[in-house]
């Protein structure tokens, strides 16, 4: 039986190209020099965007099932943060970020609600 090493190589090469996305998010969540909570939601959003685009690409078809499961898991984590005000406050208090992530991704009404909640706290 002939072995098709080239297809295995192509598959492993594609996985290797997706690895930096996960590594970047992991690095965003950990730091010895300062807090990283304010980076959590933007990092999850970036990973979601990258893996979602890969899951829709025919180039990554062998990985669609795994990528879709990963995207679903990321969505679950992202949605769970809505119950925790610490993420919102960390982003609002970060001078480099302020409310830019909330304003850009959450819509006007949710942005206003987040600011009201922050003022209340």
Q: What's the rounded Cα separation, in Å, for the pair 16 and 37? A: 27
Mean pLDDT of 51-62: 88
Q: What's the rounded Cα separation, in Å, for the pair 108 and 80? A: 20
pLDDT of residue 72: 94
Radius of gyration of the chain (CA): 18
Q: Residue 99's domain spans which residues?
A: 5-120
For the entire predicted model, the pTM comes to 0.61
Six-digit token string for 96: 């480099």
In the chain, the number of structural domains is 1
Residue 72: which of 101, 52, 43, 102 has the closest Cα?
Answer: 52
pLDDT of residue 31: 67
Query: In this structure, are residues 55 and 67 in contact, taking their beta carbons and an 8 Å threshold?
Result: yes
């Amino acid at each position: 039986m002939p072995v098709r090493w080239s297809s295995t190589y192509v598959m492993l090469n594609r996985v290797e190209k997706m690895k930096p996305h996960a590594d970047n998010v992991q690095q965003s969540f950990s730091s010895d020099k300062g807090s990283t909570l304010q980076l959590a939601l933007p990092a999850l959003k970036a990973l979601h965007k990258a893996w979602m685009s890969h899951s829709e690409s025919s180039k990554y078809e062998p990985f669609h099932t795994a990528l879709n499961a990963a995207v679903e898991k990321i969505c679950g984590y992202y949605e769970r943060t809505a119950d925790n005000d610490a993420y919102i406050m960390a982003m609002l208090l970060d001078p480099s970020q302020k409310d830019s992530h909330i304003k850009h991704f959450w819509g006007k009404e949710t942005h206003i609600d987040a600011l009201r909640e922050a003022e209340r706290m």
